[in-house]
Structure 1
């Protein structure tokens, strides 16, 4: 591969890129923040188009990018705002289906190269599933290159009609936290005390309170753990439409589960946990799975999507929607310190095979250079 340039391939002004976000997905937002920081460090001009609340959370401007507020797709002015922001771009890079579709509309009639990254599969049922398929087809046919975070997403892009689809595994962004006075060993008991897990195992789940997360299965499994002594505490960090329904079940059935809402200290929460749990019906490149392995926390996850590809043999995988299998796996691990230590060591080795942030930025920038270099006259 030729060396990656830190300037415009034309040797004049810096490469001008626009990153487009829908504003809803934590994984893609964290990736864009990491990408913006790495690109700016290499001399690339970066504009991030996303709702203003996304900039408040992910601080794109703090990474050296310019932030342009573009409202969510339901706002009729979003395409016009995006078209104006892309007027001087050498290349546009959109993340996720809805952001990509708006980018296609905004670039209509222009020859600006469009790169699309699929971080996850769009979930829909019934008539909406047909609409999603139509949007996917429109996007991949308009894109110069489609990057898939997993091989399954690359295959999906190709079967949908992409002319150029490539694997571009997204690195886990490093934690952006304020410097703490405490070391991790002193912080761990503080976090456990705050969560109410003194003298009992702490099981940690993280993710939006949506149907596909499989939290109904997790609550079913937690019934079995009430027979253990001491009773493990399940803590779920995240917000979403199922909060009231889940909270009602927790109270009615007296389950050892706590909902703590959205948190920005997930790294600390995981570091304090005995096990991490992931009960989803589908996962692409799960942030929770990556963070758990990096934090040396044994992971129990559903054997779905690209989870086996991501974690290899460094986690306990169970069938989706099987509360008994989930409950049994947790009980086994809580009673087997040697197996937990084995998973920790395997997790460290598996995490070492994933791309770094620097490698991810270099790969993306090589795609940019490829698409913006002038073609020789034949």
Structure 2
């Protein structure tokens, strides 16, 4: 068992041993299991793996083959094992072999948590599961998701929720030990512009306010709310431009609606980097039925871009008073909030300062690693 006495110990975590380390002991071996979650989850696992390796922990990451190309886990010092994408017996077999000498398994997300629970059901290996997000899918998919959450919550030794509502959800599903453990999402890489205002020029927003969001291009849900809200912005002078980063199967149908209603919206498609767009944005929009520590919201506040967001999930907890919050599913409230913000430069300036201040209060990557290590040490001591 290795000790990490120099690491910060959050008060909510159990006290850790202060005994001297055993220099002959083998390093702790932790398996990080990623189930193909969001970009934020993958970036967190990469950051966590690098921090653990730097502190003497042996880390193996199991994920879809594409995850290694995207995040570079081996460059962070971890061993990478490709895991089949589907939840199948072969996937369980690969994970079982990967965990043969593991001291602890840390799964991220529901699919990874379920695979780990199936693999470890007859093994006395502690299982930590981080809940990064939740599904809002309706009908049968919602019921299947609830069954998965119930199984994962009851199988995990400890559930870590990135927001308080996820902790409450885990407890409602029977988690024995559920704790709040906010994660630090690495800041997006800042790219230098070749020319000033190049992005604004390409979007036709040199002399117009630029609104930035990201969304999956489907005709129901959040983007439908955004497009309906955009009707109110047609009357503004100058008329703003809403740039939407993201792709999806219904782009053509959405573009037809935009053209038919003459909405000031640009669908930018695959490969567009929302973080890069934020560099030139006047206002950022996060419109979601549920969100936790949304990368778009966090990057907007870091950059001092005024944010209008739906008051759902963990968003109020993350942004505090540093954003304008509106109800989900109310395009009138969204349209009015954006219009009012565009007309009030002093308020935008106050939100910009408040956003940077709020971002400075969030956990850092180092404190996130320290919190996770405290949990690992506690579970190793129990064993």
* Paired residues for 1:128-167 under 5 Å: 128-167=141-180
1:193 pairs, out of 201, 206, 216, with 201
CA distance in 1, matches of 2:259, 2:382: 64
CA distance in 2, matches of 1:8, 1:29: 31
Cα distance per residue 1:233-282 (max 9 Å; x no partner): 11111223443432332233232211222447433211110100111111
1:274 paired residue number: 282
CA distance in 2, matches of 1:212, 1:22: 26
1:60 paired residue number: 73
SS of residue paired to 1:373: helix
1:100 paired residue number: 113
CA distance in 1, matches of 2:368, 2:321: 24
Greater mean alpha carbon deviation, residues 230-239 or residues 335-344: 230-239
Please tell me whether the aligned partners of residues 215 and 223 of structure 2 are also in contact (alpha carbons under 8 angstroms).
Answer: no
Q: How many Å apart are 1:335 and its aligned residue?
A: 1.1
Please tell me whether the aligned partners of residues 306 and 351 of structure 2 are also in contact (alpha carbons under 8 angstroms).
Answer: yes
1:26 pairs, out of 26, 36, 39, with 39
2:216 paired residue number: 208
CA distance in 1, matches of 2:143, 2:33: 24
SS of residue paired to 2:60: strand
Please tell me whether the aligned partners of residues 9 and 369 of structure 1 are also in contact (alpha carbons under 8 angstroms).
Answer: no
1:208–1:364 CA distance, 2 compared to 1 (3 A): farther
Q: How many residues align?
A: 369
1:310–1:124 CA distance, 2 compared to 1 (3 A): same
2:139 paired residue number: 126
Please tell me whether the aligned partners of residues 216 and 223 of structure 2 are also in contact (alpha carbons under 8 angstroms).
Answer: no
Structure 1 gap ranges (5+): none
1:300 paired residue number: 308
1:248–1:106 CA distance, 2 compared to 1 (3 A): farther
CA distance in 1, matches of 2:61, 2:267: 32
Please tell me whether the aligned partners of residues 40 and 46 of structure 1 are also in contact (alpha carbons under 8 angstroms).
Answer: yes
Cα distance per residue 1:16-74 (max 9 Å; x no partner): 11111111312211111111111111111111111111222222222222221112125
Greater mean alpha carbon deviation, residues 29-38 or residues 125-134: 125-134
* Paired residues for 1:1-378 under 5 Å: 1=9, 12-74=25-87, 77-176=90-189, 180=191, 189-209=197-217, 214-263=222-271, 265-373=273-381, 375=383
SS of residue paired to 2:211: strand
1:304–1:327 CA distance, 2 compared to 1 (3 A): same
1:202–1:134 CA distance, 2 compared to 1 (3 A): same
1:234–1:62 CA distance, 2 compared to 1 (3 A): same
SS of residue paired to 1:284: coil
Q: How many Å apart are 1:194 and its aligned residue?
A: 3.1
Please tell me whether the aligned partners of residues 9 and 373 of structure 1 are also in contact (alpha carbons under 8 angstroms).
Answer: no
SS of residue paired to 1:349: helix
Q: How many Å apart are 1:188 and its aligned residue?
A: 5.4
Please tell me whether the aligned partners of residues 145 and 164 of structure 1 are also in contact (alpha carbons under 8 angstroms).
Answer: yes
